[in-house]
């Protein structure tokens, strides 16, 4: 009888550990993003350009003629979709780097920039102070809605495109970068 009780305890503990392991793996699968290695002593544009996964956004900023500003000025908070996310957008890299689309590219690029240095914790404070739905202005004056769902911060543009933060608080010499899993489309 004592052996059966010990066996039941061991099986229960084993089931708990397997369930816990599965939840951790599910959380990792949902993130599906590795926090990029940015050099905190370098500026936003240099780090994005050197990044394997975020260099397309650097090309967008360069096509929009924001390169010099993101090399020197700041601070800025950058919401960075990955190369893969940009490639799946209707306004993809080819569209945004075409000189005839410069005005639209400037609008799009400015949508990924927030003046000032906003850490994820600052977004959280804004959400709490705003009773669950914060607003923040992009560099071109458009508003992004910030919400918290299941401990994940989401940003939603005027057209309803909703992006979640997939990594946060990548410090730069002139600002900060947060990764997002969707693109935005300004009006």
User: What is the residue extent of each domain of the chain?
Assistant: 1-31, 34-180
β-strand pairing of 113-115 with 134-137: unpaired
pLDDT for the residue numbered 2? 54
- Nearest one of 155, 158, 159 to 180, comparing CA atoms: 155
Helix (H, G, I), strand (E, B) or coil at 42: coil
- Per the listing, tokens 């569209």 go with 95
Out of 66-80, 81-95, 158-172, which region has the weakest mean confidence (pLDDT)?
A: 81-95
pLDDT for the residue numbered 48? 97
DSSP class of residue 176 equals: E
β-strand pairing of 76-81 with 175-180: parallel
CATH number of 34-180: 2.30.180.10
* pLDDT tens, residue by residue, 85-141: 999 988 888 888 999 999 999 999 999 999 999 999 999 999 999 999 999 999 999
Using the Cα atoms of residue 16, residue 17, residue 22 and residue 28 in order, give the sign of their dihedral: positive
Q: Sorting pLDDT into bands at 50, 70 and 90, what band is 187?
A: confident
């Amino acid at each position: 009888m004592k052996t059966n009780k010990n066996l039941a305890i061991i099986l229960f503990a084993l089931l708990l550990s397997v369930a816990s392991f599965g939840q951790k793996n599910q959380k990792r699968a949902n993130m599906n993003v590795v926090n990029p290695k940015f050099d905190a002593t370098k500026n936003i544009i240099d780090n994005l350009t050197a990044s394997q996964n975020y260099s397309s956004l650097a090309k967008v900023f360069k096509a929009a003629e924001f390169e010099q500003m993101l090399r020197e000025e700041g601070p800025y908070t950058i919401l960075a979709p990955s190369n893969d996310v940009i490639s799946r957008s209707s306004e993809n890299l080819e569209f945004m780097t075409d000189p005839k689309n410069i005005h639209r590219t400037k609008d799009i690029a400015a949508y990924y920039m927030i003046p000032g240095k906003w850490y994820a914790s600052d977004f959280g404070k804004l959400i709490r102070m705003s009773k669950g739905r914060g607003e923040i202005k992009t560099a071109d004056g458009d508003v992004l809605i910030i919400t918290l769902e299941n401990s994940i911060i989401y940003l939603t543009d005027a057209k309803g495109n909703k992006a979640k933060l997939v990594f946060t608080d990548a410090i730069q010499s002139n600002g900060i970068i947060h990764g997002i899993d969707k693109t935005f489309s300004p009006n």
